[in-house]
Amino acid sequence: MWLAALLCVLASIGLCTVGNLADHVGQMWIWCLVGLTGYALGAWCVRHTTRLPISVILSVAVIMRLALLTTEPTLSDDIYRYLWDGRVQNAGINPYAYAPDDPSVSHLRHETWEQINHRQVPTVYPPLAQWMFAIVVGIGGGVLGLKVALLLCEAVVVYAVLGLLGFRRRDPGWILLYAWHPLPVLEIAGSGHVDALSVAALMASLLWVVRSRRGWAAVALGAAILSKLIPAMCAAAYWRHWQGSGPWSWFDPRPRAPLMLTIGVVAAGYALFMTDGTDLFRGLQTYALKWRFNDGVFALVYEVLRDRSLKWDDGALLVARQVCAFLWFGILIWALRWRDPVRISFCLLGAYIVISPTVHPWYLIWVLPFLPLFPRPAWVVWSWTILLSYEVLTGYRLTGAWEPASWALWAQYGPFFLLLALELLRGWRRASVPPERSSASDV
């Protein structure tokens, strides 16, 4: 146990000493491998020990994050966009109205303006995230201040997962599968990704769902959607869980009345930014239609559909998105055979990430909180191998071309789909074995 803790802390300190991680991806991988070794040893201890001290697990998790808290976010520049949006709001301007390179907001440019990504595209971040940015900038916070705020959100994630573990009567030591994972340490304490805000609201909502606090659960789900739109797909899990009884229960809206609170919270949040007639989704449309990175299933669908004579086939991209949306809806119908809102949410979020045209490493922050509850080997392994996607930074620094290497894609998706297929096969075999007949001695 102590060796595992030492390796995890050592890995975080080592990452802190590397400096610019984007310029030293190989060194980052080495230190992450050290951390993952400690993570694996810790998981083994949880599996084979009756009880591990939660205080030790959480203390190590805090130390791991503090090690990277004051480092510069070199793997991603998203945090500078967050701070820009906050700066625009504090100037009394709607952040959805102008892209950062628009002359109308040129007077707000400052020393980090050049570090803002996609300056020609208006913001894509929903209202609650915008309010966090505005508050942090308003009180004089910068990169460090925003990271601290996001780590507080992560504390809510840990609290909610511990609550869900307790509800399911599982060893709380399984929180280690989230708390000691190098990925959230890198992406939240290191890069400061706003996903932590939305994940915190979603996990708190799920905790309130299982505790039958329906109003709070519905409001928190609305807050999660107002932080990032991805949790909107989890509304199906709530609809299924709150299903009543009777022949028409699938369609009866009465037990699902709390979801009206969710809709009201989301509508009210967006309405506050629409008073001047601004198109709030212009930047999001650009992201949805144009962005691609590190895609697996989507890449296969696109390769089948695209015109080989074109370097960029917009028509095939659109059809590929429609095909993947159809696949996701098929998984939704399959998942609704369960009634557990936590399990359904895990399935729907995981399916979305797998078929998405854009799969950044921090997107797996959406499924990591579910691993202590559902420690599926396929997802654990992918949460490790997805760090290989940072290989693209090496080529980008050398040539200026953003072209992921095929080996990095195969190294990520190959083991994941193999383990996923084996898991599904085992589940099918267990379901197909008829129960043994009771013997005379059992009667």
Mean pLDDT on 169-177: 94
Share above pLDDT 90 across residues of the chain, in percent, rounded to a whole number: 77
pLDDT of residue 437: 43
Q: Quick count: other Cβ atoms within 10 Å of Cβ 215?
A: 11
The position carrying tokens 């308003």 is 138
The SS3 of residue 293 is strand
Diameter of the chain measured on Cα atoms? 86
pLDDT of residue 436: 53
pLDDT digits (tens, 9 = 90+) for 312-354: 788 899 999 999 999 999 999 999 999 999 999 999 999 999 9
Q: Does pLDDT of 443 surpass 60?
A: no
List the chain domain ranges: 2-424
Higher confidence at residue 372 or residue 427?
Answer: 372
Q: Does pLDDT of 442 surpass 50?
A: no
pLDDT of residue 440: 38
Separation of CA 197 from chain center: 10
The position carrying tokens 């191998």 is 385
pLDDT of residue 187: 97
Q: Does pLDDT of 72 surpass 50?
A: yes
Higher confidence at residue 426 or residue 21?
Answer: 21
The SS3 of residue 115 is helix
The position carrying tokens 């490493």 is 361
pLDDT of residue 139: 95
Q: Does pLDDT of 439 surpass 60?
A: no
pLDDT digits (tens, 9 = 90+) for 347-398: 999 999 999 999 999 999 999 999 999 999 999 999 999 999 999 998 887 7
Q: Does pLDDT of 75 surpass 90?
A: yes
Contact 156, 203 (CB under 8 A): yes
pLDDT of residue 438: 39
Q: Does pLDDT of 441 surpass 80?
A: no
pLDDT of residue 399: 76
CA-to-CA separations, 193 to 60, 115, 186, 301, in angstroms, rounded: 21, 15, 10, 29
